[in-house]
Amino acid sequence: MTEITSASAKTIAQAICGKEISAVEVVQAHLDRIAEINDKLNAVVRLCADRAMQEARAADDALARDDNIGPLHGVPMTLKDSLDTEGVVTTAGTIGRRDFVPNRDATLVARLRAAGAILLGKSNTPEITWSGETDNDVYGRTNNPFDLGRNPGGSSGGAAAIVSACGSPFDIGSDTGGSIRAPAHLTGIAGIKPNSGRVPRTGHVIGYTMGPIDSYTQNGPMARYVEDLALILPVISGPDWIDPAIVDMPLGEPTNVNLSNLRVAFYTDPPGFKPPDEDTRNTVQSAVNALTNIAASIEEDVPKPLTRVPELNDRTSEGDGGAGTRRLLDKIGATDISPRLAKWLDKAELIPTEDFTKALEDLDHYRSEMLQFMRAYDVIISPTTATAAQPHGEYSKEEGYAIYTHPYNLTGWPATVVRCGTSSEGLPIGVQVVARPWREDVSLAVAAFLESTLGGWQKPPI
């Protein structure tokens, strides 16, 4: 396998199990690739080279003994620095945790390792995942592999950048308002925000004790290929009997989905949203045109409740005046924070209790109305953000960066992003594929179809 660093995790696992290549060779190839590109990207902020090679040798020995092996046996991975990793510094991008070393793995990390995956290192994240640009005072800024002067997105920007640039087959991101989907779109890879209640958040910096925000936050895989999302998601799903929101709900197989039965809605420019640029609009239309040839029906239709999303999100996630964030910082021992986060906390507006409870009531109404809209459809196709990757620093000036992704954090529904086009400047553009509650299989099946039809990931020039 001459291009092992651009292969899918599924292909790598099959090649290792078939003894076409050793785990040692695979891990070394990825470590070499990280060494080649990371000075430019600043995507991997903590490397575990010696440990990874030791685990790779153990994986090869296990295969030689014909031991029982998992679906990710010998496959390397990186992990977002907001996820606890036993024995490996986990800062969550905040200087108050610069030297924090967890004594246990996050639930999903333990599951991945039990399935045979090997940790190469930790990928960069903004402070406590709280930004659409991946930059912090511990490790600095991460760059986009398609243009080093541009933003790879946030908060899973390190994960997206290193996967896109072939330094890792996959990573695990977190998504509170689009933090898996926007970076995937901006770097040309695939990523899924699973349904709320699918993947335990135990051991993630934003865990299961953050009130409304914890219902918005989900962890999910990011990879170059949709088939890898389908491979990894079952490994990390299901109750751990710690996170109280997780449901033992069956997870469908994407290859069993009959696309010809699907009813598809799409929109490009909902009222009150930042209008997409021409390249983004054309890319969504390309996805719609592809689906027109296979789906049962497809029509342009905008859920009316979307107009309420910005206010609902602000009132439910920030209406406590930042008290929840302060408790989180206290819980994780982050006594020292960046001036940026301190400024946000100082400006956070505390609303009266009756207004906050009204916001939660309004959130329930929003979710109910969205469910009623979805009775007529199986899938929604939309932009991920209004543009392709922007120059560094533009995120803080850009209103509505996550406006297309926030609606589905509020509903909790699954949403996958896959590359479907290219901007006039040669930058990737991803399309968002939203499905009904608990139907990650449908979202992934449609994304896989669009990937095969419109091209999917393409190697960046770095």
Total domains in the fold of the chain: 1
pLDDT at 208: 82
| Cα–Cα distance, 454 to 433 (Å, whole number) | 14
List C-alpha distances in Å: 59 to 29, 72, 99, 404: 16, 11, 30, 42
Q: Show the tokens assigned to 423.
A: 């901007």
Is 199 a member of any domain?
Answer: yes
Cα 399 from chain centroid (whole Å): 21
Per the annotation, the verdict on 358 as an active-site residue is: no
Is 258 a member of any domain?
Answer: yes
Q: Show the tokens assigned to 49.
A: 């080279």
Is 460 a member of any domain?
Answer: no
| Cα–Cα distance, 136 to 73 (Å, whole number) | 33
* Predicted confidence pLDDT, tens digits, the chain (462 residues): 459 999 999 999 999 999 999 999 999 999 999 999 999 999 999 999 999 999 999 999 999 999 999 999 999 999 999 999 999 999 999 999 999 999 999 999 999 999 999 999 999 999 999 999 999 999 999 999 999 999 999 999 999 999 999 999 999 999 999 999 999 999 999 999 999 999 999 999 998 877 666 689 999 999 999 999 999 999 999 999 999 999 999 999 999 999 999 999 999 999 999 999 999 999 999 999 999 999 999 999 999 999 999 999 999 988 899 898 899 899 888 888 988 888 888 888 899 999 999 999 999 999 999 999 999 999 999 999 999 999 999 976 566 778 999 999 999 999 999 999 999 999 999 999 999 999 999 999 999 999 999 999 999 999
Closest by alpha carbon to 33, among 196, 210, 165?
A: 165
Is 461 a member of any domain?
Answer: no
pLDDT at 334: 86
Closest by alpha carbon to 384, among 439, 447, 429, 442?
A: 429
Task: Give the domain range for residue 174.
Answer: 13-454
Per the annotation, the verdict on 40 as an active-site residue is: no
Is 4 a member of any domain?
Answer: no
Is 66 a member of any domain?
Answer: yes
Q: Any idea of the CA torsion for 123, 167, 406, 400, to the nearest 10 degrees? A: 90
**8 A C-beta contact, residue 189 and residue 224:** yes
- The owner of tokens 């246990």 is 104
- Which residue type occupies 102? P
* Per annotation, catalytic residue among 179, 196, 215, 443: 179
Is 140 a member of any domain?
Answer: yes
Pairing between β-strand 263-266 and β-strand 379-383 as defined by DSSP bridges? parallel
* Per annotation, catalytic residue among 80, 237, 317, 382: 80
pLDDT at 398: 62
Q: Show the tokens assigned to 57.
A: 């040798």
Is 462 a member of any domain?
Answer: no
| Cα–Cα distance, 150 to 126 (Å, whole number) | 15
pLDDT at 2: 53
Per the annotation, the verdict on 196 as an active-site residue is: no
Q: Which CATH number characterizes residue 445's domain?
A: 3.90.1300.10
Residue 313 has a CB neighbour count (10 Å cut-off) of 23
Q: Look at the alpha carbons of 329, 335, 338, 340 in this order and tell me if their dihedral is positive or negative.
A: positive
Could you check whether the bond before residue 155 is cis, i.e. omega within 30 degrees of 0?
yes
| Cα–Cα distance, 9 to 170 (Å, whole number) | 7
pLDDT at 344: 83
pTM over 0.95: yes
Q: Look at the alpha carbons of 369, 373, 378, 382 in this order and tell me if their dihedral is positive or negative.
A: negative
Q: Look at the alpha carbons of 166, 170, 173, 177 in this order and tell me if their dihedral is positive or negative.
A: positive
* Per annotation, catalytic residue among 82, 131, 155, 423: 155
